[in-house]
Structure 1
Amino acid sequence: MATLVLTAVGAVFGPVAGIATGVIGFAGAQLFGAGGKSRQGPRLNDLAVQSSVYGTPLPRLYGMIRASGSVIWATDIRETAHRSGGGKGKPKTTTYSYAASFAVALSARPIRSVKRIWGDGKLMRSAEGSWIMAANMRLYTGLEDEAPDPLIASAEGPDAAPAYRGMAYAVFEDLDLTEFANHIPSLSFEVEADEAPVSAAAIIDDLGAITGLAPSLSPEEATPLRGFGIASGGSVRSVLETLATVDPLTILDDGTATAVSLRRIPDAIDLSRQDMGASWRIERGAPVARMTVERIAADQTPGEISIGYYDCARDYQTGLQRAHFGMGRRSERIELPAALMPGEAKALAERKMAEVSVRSVTSTIRLPYRALALRPGDLLRHPADGGLWRVTEMTVERMVVELALERMLQIPLTPSSAADGGRVAPQNGLANGETVLHVLDLPPLFDELPAVPRIWIAASGKEQGWRRADIALSLDSGGSWQSIYTATGGSVAGVTLTALGAGASTLWDDRNAVEVELDHEGMWLEGRADESLLAGANLALIDDELVQFGHVEQLGGHRFRLSRLLRGRRGTEWASADHEAGGRFILIEPAVTGVADLPVSRLGSSIRFRGTGPGEDPAAAEAVTLLLKGRALLPPSPVHVTASLLADGSVNVQWIRRSRQGWGGWIDGVDAPLGEESERYRVTLRQLGGSERIVDVSQSSCTHALADRLADGGDISRLSVAIVQLSAIAGPGMAAAADFVIDD
């Protein structure tokens, strides 16, 4: 007696109807895997981690999906030394930067393009192709006529360099590793493999082209997928089982070819009760029942099914959607390496949960030999309820056909409005845009005491996408350039829209206000309390005057009205006269304001600066020229100048010095710290209509003797005084001027 048993595999994954490997016989283990071994289908983490291990299977990508790929070629990391310093009072320093050239395989089948690129999770390139971080990349889409990459050819030799035809890959040349802690980053790519969403039918047909599987049947009924990736290196059968999560698949074999049908509702075969009843077996003294129906206990079925997927709404990060039903305590998870929206994944989980409930009911029927034409995967209309049932197993013995059936569910896959994929931290995908560079020759800003000329750098962009720029200077009128600073974050800058009247530096200026327009809507200003202003908050540069503002009124867009002002900060009262509209406005913030020290020998000379963003041609960047006056070295003007007539007819001129050091507060209540190598002043005396007399003194007073008054000529009752403190490095500081009437 012989018994023939045919089964349908894929009960867990869905209705993948098939026959044991030996029965199919056309591709064997190569196509459907060895029968006795466990199989692993494509998994979610297959595309998540960049690999460089020899023998790692290359992924086959479909639709639009994010993948990491494999490093297939690389040079040694290149080290470059940068030397600076060595001037007066500064040691020589050497810093190092690193770059690498390498190739990353993306897909074992051709692709159309690459959109976004991430390095160590940070966005490197926007979907529009704008580089956020500087990179030189060449993409090869996998066409059969592509030539070897020139860099690989130059390194390996023209005869030894592979062209990698039929495989999509990207070559990075001299990628700066500074942003990645000096290591080759783990890259991931948003790959557009196909022009439109794909389906199980398209994937099956692509695999069939390399395995001999016949074209899929009824492809128009397949559910569209936004993207799909196969990277596990498993058998075609394991891929089909994974695809069966989305669509019911039936494997058909006519003895000459094998094909996959995607018909959601195949033609059902109607059975009548008259067809049933054949039986030859006797169990417990009675013939086996011609039809049985069994139901699995509710607590024995899964109560939760979760679908793991790539979430398109969260930059293709792994997402999870769940569906719950019944009293089951078990939880089943299906890993689907497909790119989906949360609602689509939620609907899929709900449908799988419904299928579990429906398939908890099974049936066994026995038919006469006329039913030999039936096969596992066929749909029958059960005579008990008229519903659709699928044949899962077929046994033929003594001309009796015994069928094991499971009940079928046919519901459309519609996105669920209740799905929430969570949130992802937004990354700025806008283009960096043009860099706006302000080079500022200012007094000391942050309670430092420079010993060499110091300038401050405020860099930003005209567009919100600006992130960073390399700042370089040229000491030889553009003949050569030296990188001095990497600007990030962006300074808040713009222009004044209204005039700003003159204001005193010794009082709160509540009489004046100024309106400013910032460079773009991503910039913002906020008010501060008086205590915060006295501690240094909201310091800004308007033209050449340092101003603080306490009140901010938004006028719409990126326009603001500033009031409650403190004027002439850090000794810039000399620039607090009337300001016309159209002047520069720059918010001075330590976190985003760069600092550069320059050689003393460059005082009085013009220096060029330029800012170059990622991917921008340095030669195309507009240079900014600064005449270096060394204001960080210049002592501020003295204050409280007085002149009094002494008994001997001489005039005593006195003043109080100020210092470059100690703007934060009056520490000892006696005098400001000197802040210079020595205390020296230059006093210019001129009587009305008389000649000028210049006197250098080493204390904060000067005597204009009676004999000198008479010798200088002019009206000795009218005296003009100008006083500057002298810097040993930069010379005279800012002047304090006063006019006096000397009464005899």
Structure 2
Amino acid sequence: MLAPRCREREPSTLSAFRVHRGGEGQAVDPLIASAVGEAHAPAHRGIAYALFEDLALADYGNRIPSLTFEVEADDAPVALAQVAAQASGGRVSGVGLGLVEGYAASGADMVEALAPLIEARGLALTSGEAGLRLRAAADGASGTIRAEALTARVNGRSVDPEQRSSGAVDAVPVALSLRHYDAARDCQTGVQRVVRPGAGRQEQGIDLPEAMSADRARALTAARLNAAWSGRARMDLRCGWDALAWNAGDVVRVDRAPGLWRIEEREWEAMAVRLALRRVPGAGGTLPAGASPGAIVRQEDAPHGPTSLMLVDLPPLRDGVASAPSIAVAASGGPGWRSAALFVTGASGEAVPAGRSAGRGVMGRVETLLAPGSATLVDRRATLDVMLLADDMMLAPADEAMLGQGRNLCLVGRELIQFEAAAKTGARRWRLTGLRRGLRGTEWAAGDHRTGESFLLIEEDRLADPLHAVGQAADLGATLRVAALGLGDVEPVEAMMAVTGEALIPPAPVHLTAQAVTGGVTLRWVRRSRAGWRWSSGSDVPLAEESERYVVRLMQGEQAVRDVETSVPTWTYDAAAIAADGSAGSALTVEVAQLGTHATGRAARIAIMV
């Protein structure tokens, strides 16, 4: 590697620190020596490092801040031939190979150190009286192999002096990526990708530990892809002894064969010289337009801050039949918050580690009371005003196609809602409109809202399943307690709830009607399913339960008059039952609920007069 030279800087405003440049005579740092003893303290010779002493961390959330160090090597670009000579100990030379801004040569030997440089630039390593030498195809032809140099007879038998072949098109990568150090972005890793037209599926990449601009990297990538395309053409020549003057790596012209050819192999075979050649691109050509190096994405070095935790019992979010409650944890915080450790508290009070939280969730509180709404209409009158945890949290609008894919789904209290539009009304404040109410069977919660209730944007990659992490399942009716502890938390943050098993509860039937018949009333309804939220075929939704059963309850005020089970979506309250109940001439409320495998569903209601 080219030896770096550190440039002197003004004293840091962070605190005092010492720079050790990695020399062979580097002394032990006094702070390390005082900690472990001078006899046991390493000097780290050959390693450059900076040591901070008494660095105040209070301004950085009590953690080590992001630090950037700039190390400069040479003051100007270096000849590629010089890099090759230095990496090989002077055994490899070259002329006119161009310049490099920096190259990190590494590997077990010279071949490994120089291989990325040779591959990316399409160089050839030739040997001769002057030793090893790097050559580029752009240097032009060293000469021409004339037709009279070919031989048609070897050892008294006829041979084909010239054999040509062409590789398959799909053997050339359809896209080539080059990973390099981007000089415009503090030598962070950059990637340039070039795609060719035509057939093919495979993609390839080149790792080049060289500092260069994005333009240069893209041009180099295009040149390599062009070389791979040209290199499909191959040729084997049988020549006389004079061909021993050619060396592997030489670029030549061949009579009756257009273009430039590189000799890849030279072999003495049956009293003749066999040359294996591959076509290489000629000099010139049009390089692709300028490339963008991209932008550096810097994370804000903000304090981690306290953790906010939400524990939710979700209805089914995906199609399919749930067999256990769907319990999820969402955790979040300010701009510097990253994650928190999770713990499940058992009946004994012991906190069991349950992994870590998922990504930073978008959550907050509802500021105004949300009026009751219908699950069958798009609510364009009501507005949902929320205050999020942090000002950098964003909500975005969604069109019909995006809503159909599940975007902008949120849990408001216990109701699942989707919103079309989101407008920022102030710091951390948003107004949501175009509401789809009572989704996934949560219409029962549409009239049970209050000011200050929780708001959570449902993004599955930002939800964690703490019970799965500890190999447990939630019991219906049990109380679940989950705690979170992040870097900014002095004490664990706890959330607690009673498990209702929303994913296991069949939704309420719909289209409940009552029709007067001779001596009584006939009730009819249409069942729903917790596994059939998409009506894709026009047929009945799947049952999703072990059997089809319903419970019909007749209420007079707060008193239950009759409970009946039925296996079909209809039931008649006939004259005999009315007489037995003594309910003739009374106003009753009928409740119909589906009996599920794990739980009784929520009821649909209708008022009747008997």
TM-score where L is the length of structure 2: 0.56
SS of 2:503's equivalent in the other structure is: coil
What are the residue-to-residue correspondences of 1:102-251 with 2, within 5 Å? 108-109=26-27, 142-147=31-36, 163-164=40-41, 191-192=51-52
SS of 1:487's equivalent in the other structure is: coil
* 2:440 aligned residue: 570
Amino acid at match of 2:454: R
Alignment partner for residue 502 of structure 2, among 631, 634, 654? 631
Amino acid at match of 1:611: A
Q: 446-455 vs 545-554, which deviates more?
A: 446-455
- C-alpha distance in structure 1 between counterparts of 2:32 and 2:508, whole Å: 72
- C-alpha distance in structure 2 between counterparts of 1:454 and 1:739, whole Å: 34
1:741 offset after TM fit, Å?
2.8
Deviations along 1:627-681, one digit per CA (max 9) or x if unpaired, are: 111111111111111122222x132221111111121x21332322111121121
Does the CA contact (< 8 Å) of 1:710 and 1:716 recur in 2?
no
SS of 2:403's equivalent in the other structure is: helix
Alignment partner for residue 658 of structure 1, among 528, 540, 546? 528
* 1:352 aligned residue: none
SS of 1:660's equivalent in the other structure is: coil
What are the residue-to-residue correspondences of 1:44-443 with 2, within 5 Å? 108-109=26-27, 142-147=31-36, 163-164=40-41, 191-192=51-52, 423-443=295-315
Does the CA contact (< 8 Å) of 1:146 and 1:163 recur in 2?
no
Does the CA contact (< 8 Å) of 2:354 and 2:466 recur in 1?
no
Deviations along 1:143-197, one digit per CA (max 9) or x if unpaired, are: 432237xxxxxxxxxxxx97416669xxxxxxxxxxxxxxxxxx998754899xx
- C-alpha distance in structure 1 between counterparts of 2:511 and 2:431, whole Å: 33
Amino acid at match of 1:653: L
SS of 1:540's equivalent in the other structure is: strand
Alignment partner for residue 514 of structure 1, among 384, 388, 391? 384
Does the CA contact (< 8 Å) of 2:325 and 2:502 recur in 1?
yes
Amino acid at match of 1:541: L
Amino acid at match of 2:33: E
- C-alpha distance in structure 2 between counterparts of 1:515 and 1:704, whole Å: 46
TM-score where L is the length of structure 1: 0.46
- C-alpha distance in structure 2 between counterparts of 1:68 and 1:721, whole Å: 84
* 1:607 aligned residue: 480
1:733 offset after TM fit, Å?
1.8
Amino acid at match of 1:603: L
Does the CA contact (< 8 Å) of 2:474 and 2:499 recur in 1?
no
Check if 1:700 corresponds to 2:538.
no
- C-alpha distance in structure 2 between counterparts of 1:465 and 1:738, whole Å: 52
1:722 offset after TM fit, Å?
1.0
1:447 offset after TM fit, Å?
2.0
Amino acid at match of 2:495: V
- C-alpha distance in structure 1 between counterparts of 2:505 and 2:353, whole Å: 26
Alignment partner for residue 3 of structure 2, among 37, 42, 57? 42
Does the CA contact (< 8 Å) of 1:688 and 1:716 recur in 2?
no
1:606 offset after TM fit, Å?
0.9
Unaligned 5+ residue runs, structure 2? 56-67, 77-94, 105-180, 191-291
1:593 offset after TM fit, Å?
2.3
Amino acid at match of 1:737: R
Does the CA contact (< 8 Å) of 1:456 and 1:594 recur in 2?
yes
1:426 offset after TM fit, Å?
2.0
- C-alpha distance in structure 1 between counterparts of 2:375 and 2:483, whole Å: 34
* 1:524 aligned residue: 394
Alignment partner for residue 473 of structure 1, among 341, 344, 348? 344
Alignment partner for residue 670 of structure 1, among 539, 562, 572? 539
Mark the CA change 1:143 to 1:595 in structure 2 (over 3 Å): closer, same or farther: closer
Does the CA contact (< 8 Å) of 2:507 and 2:601 recur in 1?
yes
- C-alpha distance in structure 2 between counterparts of 1:669 and 1:68, whole Å: 74
- C-alpha distance in structure 1 between counterparts of 2:445 and 2:188, whole Å: 54
SS of 1:574's equivalent in the other structure is: helix
- C-alpha distance in structure 2 between counterparts of 1:318 and 1:596, whole Å: 36
Deviations along 1:432-475, one digit per CA (max 9) or x if unpaired, are: 332222111121012242111221222221x1122223333222
- C-alpha distance in structure 2 between counterparts of 1:601 and 1:540, whole Å: 23
- C-alpha distance in structure 2 between counterparts of 1:189 and 1:438, whole Å: 43
Does the CA contact (< 8 Å) of 1:528 and 1:537 recur in 2?
yes
What are the residue-to-residue correspondences of 1:484-523 with 2, within 5 Å? 484=355, 486-488=357-359, 490-523=360-393
Does the CA contact (< 8 Å) of 1:308 and 1:318 recur in 2?
no
Amino acid at match of 1:679: E
Mark the CA change 1:592 to 1:482 in structure 2 (over 3 Å): closer, same or farther: same
Amino acid at match of 2:310: H
- C-alpha distance in structure 1 between counterparts of 2:443 and 2:20, whole Å: 58
Larger radius of gyration: 1
- C-alpha distance in structure 2 between counterparts of 1:674 and 1:318, whole Å: 54
Does the CA contact (< 8 Å) of 2:19 and 2:48 recur in 1?
yes
SS of 1:732's equivalent in the other structure is: coil
Mark the CA change 1:162 to 1:574 in structure 2 (over 3 Å): closer, same or farther: farther
Deviations along 1:380-429, one digit per CA (max 9) or x if unpaired, are: xxxxxxxxxxxxxxxxxxxxxxxxxxxxxxxxxxxxxxxx9984332343
Does the CA contact (< 8 Å) of 1:662 and 1:673 recur in 2?
yes
1:304 offset after TM fit, Å?
8.7
- C-alpha distance in structure 2 between counterparts of 1:671 and 1:67, whole Å: 74
SS of 1:570's equivalent in the other structure is: helix
Does the CA contact (< 8 Å) of 1:453 and 1:630 recur in 2?
yes
Mark the CA change 1:658 to 1:243 in structure 2 (over 3 Å): closer, same or farther: closer
* 2:279 aligned residue: none
* 2:214 aligned residue: none
Mark the CA change 1:687 to 1:66 in structure 2 (over 3 Å): closer, same or farther: farther
- C-alpha distance in structure 1 between counterparts of 2:440 and 2:593, whole Å: 16
* 2:194 aligned residue: none
Mark the CA change 1:594 to 1:507 in structure 2 (over 3 Å): closer, same or farther: same
- C-alpha distance in structure 1 between counterparts of 2:74 and 2:376, whole Å: 77
Does the CA contact (< 8 Å) of 2:344 and 2:466 recur in 1?
no
Mark the CA change 1:655 to 1:162 in structure 2 (over 3 Å): closer, same or farther: farther
Check if 1:455 corresponds to 2:455.
no
- C-alpha distance in structure 2 between counterparts of 1:515 and 1:675, whole Å: 36
- Paired residues, number: 398
- C-alpha distance in structure 2 between counterparts of 1:531 and 1:722, whole Å: 36
- C-alpha distance in structure 2 between counterparts of 1:721 and 1:691, whole Å: 10
Alignment partner for residue 581 of structure 1, among 447, 451, 466? 451
Mark the CA change 1:691 to 1:524 in structure 2 (over 3 Å): closer, same or farther: closer
Does the CA contact (< 8 Å) of 1:144 and 1:166 recur in 2?
no
* 2:431 aligned residue: 561
SS of 1:623's equivalent in the other structure is: strand
Does the CA contact (< 8 Å) of 1:608 and 1:626 recur in 2?
yes
Amino acid at match of 1:450: A
Does the CA contact (< 8 Å) of 1:66 and 1:316 recur in 2?
no
SS of 1:522's equivalent in the other structure is: coil
RMSD over aligned CA atoms reads: 4.8
Amino acid at match of 1:608: R
